[in-house]
Amino acid sequence: MAILSNEKTLLRLSMVAALALTMLPLPMSLLKPYWVALVLIYWVLESGYFRRLEVVFGLGLVMDLLTGTLLGQHALSLLIMTYLLLLFRQRIRFYPPWQMTLVVFALLLNDRILQLWVLWLAGQIPTWEYWLSPLLGAAIWPWFFLLLDRLRSRQRQRQS
Amino acid sequence: MSMTATQQTRELSGYTTRLLVLGIVAIFLMSMDHRGHYLQALRNQAAHLTIPLYRALDWPQRALSDGLSYLTRQGELLARITELQAEQTRLRGELLQLATVLQENRELRELLEGVDVSSSELILADLVQVSMDPFSHRVVINRGLSSGVEVGMAVVDQAGLLGQVTESTLSGASVTLITDANHALPVRNLRNGVRTIAYGTGDLHVLAITDLPRNTDLTPGDLLVTSGLGSRFPTGLPVAEVIAIEVQDADRFARVRARPLAAMDQARQVLIVR
Tens of pLDDT, residue by residue over B83-93, are 999 999 989 88
Residue A132 CA to residue B134 CA, distance in Å, equals: 14
Nearest CA in chain B to A87: B12
Domains along chain B with CATH numbers: 120-274 (2.40.10.340)
**For A122-142, how does the pLDDT look when each residue is reduced to its tens digit (9 = 90+)?**
777 787 888 889 999 999 999
Q: Residue A78 in contact with residue A60, Cβ under 8 Å?
A: yes
Q: How far is B88 from chain A (nearest CA, A)?
A: 32
Q: Which domain holds residue A64?
A: 2-21+31-159
Does B190 reach chain A within 8 Å, measured CB to CB? no
A82-106 as b/e, with b when 16 or more CB fall inside 10 Å? bbbbbeeeeebeeeeeeebbebbbe
What is the ipTM for the molecules in this complex?
0.84
Q: In this structure, is residue A11 part of a structural domain?
A: yes
- The residues facing B223 across adjacent strands are B241
The arithmetic mean of pLDDT across residues B227-233, rounded, is: 78
Q: In this structure, is residue A26 part of a structural domain?
A: no
The pLDDT of residue A75: 95
The arithmetic mean of pLDDT across residues B73-77, rounded, is: 81
Q: In this structure, is residue A117 part of a structural domain?
A: yes
Q: In this structure, is residue A86 part of a structural domain?
A: yes
Q: CA nearest B268: which of B181, B158, B167?
A: B158
Q: How far is A102 from chain B (nearest CA, A)?
A: 24
Q: In this structure, is residue A100 part of a structural domain?
A: yes
Burial category of B128 from C-beta neighbours within 10 Å (exposed 0-12, middle 13-18, buried 19 and up): buried
Averaged pLDDT score across all residues of chain B: 83
CB nearest A65 (choices: B18, B50, B130): B50
The arithmetic mean of pLDDT across residues A63-68, rounded, is: 87
Indicate the pLDDT class of residue B1, thresholds 50, 70 and 90. very low
> For chain A, what percent of residues have pLDDT higher than 70?
93
* Torsion sign over Cα B23, B25, B29, B31: positive
Does A16 reach chain B within 8 Å, measured CB to CB? no
Number of folded domains that form chain A: 1
**For B178-196, how does the pLDDT look when each residue is reduced to its tens digit (9 = 90+)?**
988 888 899 988 888 888 8
Q: In this structure, is residue A129 part of a structural domain?
A: yes
Q: In this structure, is residue A106 part of a structural domain?
A: yes
Indicate the pLDDT class of residue B116, thresholds 50, 70 and 90. very low
